[in-house]
Amino acid sequence: MKPSVLFVLSWTCLCALLPLTNCEEKRIPEEKLLVVTVATKETDGFRRFLRSAKRFNYSVKVLGRGEKWSGGDYMSAPGGGQKIRLLKAALQEMTSEDRIILFIDSYDVVFASGPKELLRKFQQAQHRVVFSSESLIWPDRHLEDKYPHVREGNRFLGSGGFMGFLPNVKQMVSNWTGGDGDSDQLFFTKIYIDPAQRKSINITLDSKCRLFQNLHGALDEVVLKFEDGRVRARNVQYDTLPVVVHGNGPTKLQINYLGNYIPNAWTFETGCTVCQENLRPLSALKETEYPLVMIGVFIQQPTPFVSVFFERLLKLQYPKNRLRLFIYNQEPHHEQQVSSFLQEHGGLYQDVKTISPEEETDSTASRDLAFHLCREDKDCDYFFNLDVEVVLKNEDTLKILIKQNLPVVAPMLTRPGRLWSNFWGALSADGYYARSEDYVDIVQGRRVGVWNVPYVSGVYLVKADLLRSELKDYDLFTSQTTDPDMAFCHNVRTKGIFMYVTNVHTFGRILSTENYQTKHLHNDLWQIFENPTDWEERYIHMNYSRIMKDKLIENPCPDVYWFPVFTDVACKHLIEEMEHFGQWSGGGNKDTRIQGGYENVPTIDIHMNQVNFEKEWRKFLVEYVAPITEKMFPGYHTQAHFDLAFVVRYKPDEQPALRPHHDASTFTINIALNQVGIDYQGGGCRFLRYDCSIQAPRRGWALMHPGRLTHYHEGLPTTDGVRYIAVSFVDP
């Protein structure tokens, strides 16, 4: 027998034995393969499909572009007759006998590998036509008995993907006379279950998902396999690596999830394909050419650090004359902050619209209205949603998001030290939060990229084009059953629009609005427990962290340490809070305890407990003072207990000075709250035993000294203005 004859009979078996070149002769060349798909609309899913096809160099022919889709709702089966009609017509124009046609859906399909592997697997199937398989029968359950049995794998045919030689595929669709709305799957099923036709066209099923993976009914079988910097979807039931992955039926979100990884969309080194493609950088534009963005600010509940929010809004890097503001405020408590921001800076923006609490517009209606204003204005290019509890630390956020050039994209925000974020990785069956496998890795930054997700909130950028096309319904946020943010995301998903979250940069965090009291003047001072990071940024001196690192601590008198601890804002808020409360104790009302007894050393003061600030003050001492005490006085440990902590006011005509005394503390903290030379003259502290004075106290700096026995001291007279200090006797 001549080797070539043997080869034809059983080339696959021999391939392993023969030199490679012989096998390659028999391989179907990649140019023979043509991918044919029907897409009447350029959905995000379709663009993803093309991206993956391009990545592997598939040649793709798209049918039906611009045609009205009449083959049923493209988000759901059945239907699909239109696909066969278009395919049949397209095939009539093709002649090449050895052409291989891969006919697949595209809105919910991604390629996981290239033509070479696909053709090899096709050849190994040893049939002229190979259909994808499914474990669930559809659309006619009564046909089950007619299906041939398979030894292993799925028994049923899926019409979302098949491949075959041109003549055989032509033959298969030649008798199609159905309507556009008829089921393509039923048509092919009937051919397949007819033994004569099955044989004559020479059809088989890819039962073990070597070529095609339909996800419906198979979610438990499919896992992501990370290896050597590559990602593949693997069918663990049949131990196969499918080439085409199809999120058919109700598995749209799963294909979105897998599409984040295949084809290798994500890697640390190169970022991800979605991050890199179709970017819209602004750098080449003049500022006057920047896209016009409407920023929607929503204040829906009493929220801490609102004035800081507006400070950051002002610092957002973007030409202000290309920004319009829509500010919705439901809270009377925040009216003053909104109006003072607008008074000072409103004029910088191209336009400002506000909805105040008196208008009694509910928050859902305000969101619908804000979108509508952008939608109706043809100049509006983007809508940027910014809820007030969002702490956007990255001033370039807006530019970064515009550059991504995606339909809906959110910067990832988290709550410090928690797994809270402004996106969901997955949805539960009833449409609520579910944790995706990669959620924690994304939140904690172990996986970095631009992620297709089913839900974003708080801050996101929407292309205004979408508001004038797919998202043109007025009431996107309105729902009888769910919250406005969920209703919006639901609408976006149902329209087949992709939402992304990016963690390629660090953007910021989300405030907790729980336990926010509004009964004080500066309520943010009370946020040390609920929002410690924001509290620290607002109130702890910028050089505090350098005390240990750079030894930024002074030692002006023996065992007296001097270090920066409060920001100017902290000092100002504390003074204003005390003046607002106003019940300064008069001389003689208060005893200062000394060394186990009482001595009447009266000051004009207000105690932290009088303004319900003692818990917060102790937390401050524990977090920010105790570590320094323990460093400077080695071997001493403090729990930062105190029973006296108060703000003292010195005035020439009230109480200018304090006579020499001991403090009833193990150590004392004395923080200057205002500035000598500006707010007052004189003042300071003298330690008599050492004849050593600190005469120019610095605002926000703390003096720390032992209380009993050695550091007998006096308050030097304030000669003009008003001086404030915050004093704590620690570990009495």
Ligand X SMILES: *[C@@H]1O[C@H](CO)[C@@H](O)[C@H](O)[C@H]1NC(C)=O
Catalytic residues: 723
Q: Which stretch binds ligand X (CB under 6 A): 172-180, 470-478, 553-561, 596-604?
A: 172-180
Residue nearer to ligand X on the CB measure, 114 or 652: 114
**Residue 433, CB-side half-sphere exposure with 13 Å CA sphere:** 12
Taking contact as CB under 6 A, which single stretch among the options 83-91, 125-133, 238-246, 660-668 is the one that binds ligand X?
Answer: 125-133
Region of 230 please: left (phi>0), alpha (psi -120 to 50) or beta. Answer: beta
What gap in Å lies between CA 141 and CA 519, rounded to an integer?
A: 66
Is the CB of 245 or the CB of 594 nearer to ligand X? 245
**Least distance to ligand X, CB of residue 313, Å:** 23
Q: Which of 59, 70, 197, 710 binds ligand X (CB under 6 A)?
A: 197
Residue whose pair of structure tokens reads 């069918």 in the numeric block = 235
Neighbours of 140 (CB within 10 A): 14
Supply the DSSP string of 559-589, one letter for each residue: TEEEEE-B-HHHHHHHHHHHHHH--PPPTTS
For residues 239 to 278, the per-residue mask of contacts with ligand X, x marking binding by CB under 6 A and - elsewhere, is ----------------------------------------
Which position among 7, 11, 56, 712 is part of the footprint of ligand X (CB under 6 A)? 56
**Binding segment toward ligand X, per CB under 6 A, in 61-69, 94-102, 126-134, 350-358:** 126-134
Cβ 114 to ligand X, closest distance in Å?
A: 5
Give 101 or 442: the residue with its C-beta nearer to ligand X.
101
Closest approach of ligand X to the CB of residue 657, in Å: 28
Whole-number minimum distance, CB 129 to ligand X, in Å? Answer: 9
Q: Classify the C-alpha dihedral 230-233-237-242 as positive or negative.
A: negative
Q: Tell me how far, at minimum, the Cβ of 229 lies from ligand X, in Å.
A: 15
Eight-class DSSP state of 703: E
Verify binding: residue 202, ligand X, rule CB under 6 A: yes
The piece of 59-67, 170-178, 616-624, 711-719 that touches ligand X (CB under 6 A) is 170-178
From residue 323, give the alpha-carbon distance in Å to each of 53, 245, 282, 316: 38, 42, 15, 11
Please tell me the distance from the alpha carbon of residue 472 to that of residue 468, in angstroms, as a whole number.
5
77 in helix, strand or coil? coil
Q: How many residues bind ligand X (CB under 6 A)?
A: 16
Q: Which is nearer to ligand X, 126 or 589 (CB)?
A: 126
Residue nearer to ligand X on the CB measure, 413 or 540? 540
8 Å CB contact between 477 and 368: yes
How many Cα atoms occupy the beta-carbon half-sphere of 638 within 13 Å? 28
Q: Is 560 exposed, middle or buried (0-12, 13-18, 19+ CB in 10 A)?
A: buried
Cis peptide before 78 (omega within 30 of 0): yes
For 112, list phi and psi in degrees, rounded to 5: -105, -10
- Give the shortest CB-171-to-ligand X separation in angstroms: 5
| The token pair that represents 316 in the structure block | 């957002």
538 lies in the site for ligand X, by CB under 6 A: no
Choice between 56 and 712, CB closer to ligand X: 56
Stretch that binds ligand X, among 197-205, 443-451, 495-503, 633-641 (CB under 6 A): 197-205
**203 vs 557, beta carbon nearer ligand X:** 203
User: Quick check: 128 binds ligand X (CB under 6 A)?
Assistant: yes
CB 572, min distance to ligand X, A: 14
Using an 8 Å Cβ cutoff, are 316 and 397 in contact?
yes
Q: How far is the CB of 262 from ligand X (least distance, A)?
A: 14
Q: In the set 106, 132, 133, 171, which binds ligand X (CB under 6 A)?
A: 171
Applying CB under 6 A, the span of 171-179, 277-285, 292-300, 637-645 interacting with ligand X comes to 171-179
Q: Is 113 in the site for ligand X (CB under 6 A)?
A: no
Residue closer to ligand X (CB basis): 236 or 542:
542
Kindly state the helix (H) or strand (E) to which residue 191 belongs, with its residue range: helix 184-193
**Which residue of 69, 114, 143, 632 would you call a contact of ligand X, by CB under 6 A?**
114
- Closest to 437 in 3D by CA, of 616, 254, 617: 254
H helix or E strand, kind and range, residue 599: strand 597-599
Identity of the residue, 114 or 431, whose beta carbon is nearer to ligand X in the bound complex: 114
* Joined tokens for residue 235: 């069918």
Q: Which two tokens stand for residue 108?
A: 């919910």
The Cα 499–Cα 423 span in angstroms is 10
Q: Are 310 and 334 in contact (CB under 8 A)?
A: no
Nearest distance in Å: CB 86, ligand X = 18
Six-digit token string for 333: 């408590």
Contact criterion met (CB below 8 Å) for 157 and 189: yes
Of positions 95, 175, 336, 600, contacts ligand X by CB under 6 A: 175
If one asks whether residue 57 binds ligand X (CB under 6 A), the answer comes out as yes
Q: Which of residues 539-578 bind ligand X (CB under 6 A)?
A: 542-543
DSSP tag of 267: E
Give the list of residues 6+ apart from residue 108 with CB closer than 8 angstroms, or none: 45, 246, 247, 248, 251, 252, 255
Q: Which stretch binds ligand X (CB under 6 A): 60-68, 167-175, 381-389, 723-731?
A: 167-175
Residues in contact with ligand X, shown as a per-residue x/- string from 402 to 441 under the rule CB under 6 A: ----------------------------------------
Three-class DSSP category at 702: strand
Which residues are within 8 A (CB) of 483 and not within 5 positions of it... i.e. 6 or more apart?
Answer: none
CB 302 within 8 A of CB 513: yes
Q: How many residues make up the chain in this entry?
A: 732
**Tokens describing residue 309:** 């929010």
CB of 165 to ligand X, least distance (A): 8
Instruction: Select 149 or 659, whichever has its Cβ closest to ligand X.
Output: 149
Instruction: Tell me the C-alpha to C-alpha distance, in Å, between residue 569 and each of 395, 543, 572, 663, 698.
Output: 22, 14, 5, 28, 14
Site membership for ligand X, residue 172 (CB under 6 A): yes
Per CB under 6 A, the list member of 126, 278, 494, 600 interacting with ligand X is 126
Residue nearer to ligand X on the CB measure, 411 or 700: 700
For position 710 contacting ligand X by CB under 6 A, the verdict is no
Which window, 133-141, 196-204, 404-412, 440-448, contacts ligand X (CB under 6 A)? 196-204
Per CB under 6 A, residues contacting ligand X are 56-57, 114, 126-128, 171-172, 174-175, 191, 197, 199, 202, 542-543
